[in-house]
Structure 1
């Protein structure tokens, strides 16, 4: 393989691997894992608080917004298409959502979801 092809292949490999690296984080001493909380706790949490929610996505509200429900109540979540799981799921499927609270000036508080896991 020529040097030019080797450099191109390496650049492509780094580009493809970048999203995986960007999602990783520090897990050593002093690291604070996101707190698992209820929908009602997330509604009251400060802006940019890292959260983990477990429950059900019960309705699509349009664009990338969904209604999430757990035993405590409901909250709007924003999930970009790229963060959706590969497998189809419905309102009966239990999910774990990881993201952060997003407080907006217009009062449209929600959780900006960065990871969706389908639970058994």
Structure 2
């Protein structure tokens, strides 16, 4: 049910100085009803690496599976917090979840629906 404050709560956590200092790598993506897995992965990668010309060129040349592997490798050695906001369909998360490594280092993914 919309309007209950799920995104607001997630945003307060995400910007909290204590949380930010605990997760050196962090990203926020909004999924919504219409989503594209490649665009979501690119958004996370750009949020983490920045939008340099080299990164943008590299991302544009990658196929979906390559993006997934690149995303996984980018996060695998990091402690990260990623908020996946406004997920309408379970399939959206199911298509993304294998790109998130579980390195047993305290990383977290928060999903709002």
Shared fold per TM-score greater than 0.5: no
Compare the two structures and name the one with the higher helix fraction: 2
Higher relative contact order (CA 8 A, sep 6+): 2
Q: Which structure is higher in strand share?
A: 1
TM-score, length-scaled by structure 1: 0.23
Higher Cα radius of gyration? 1
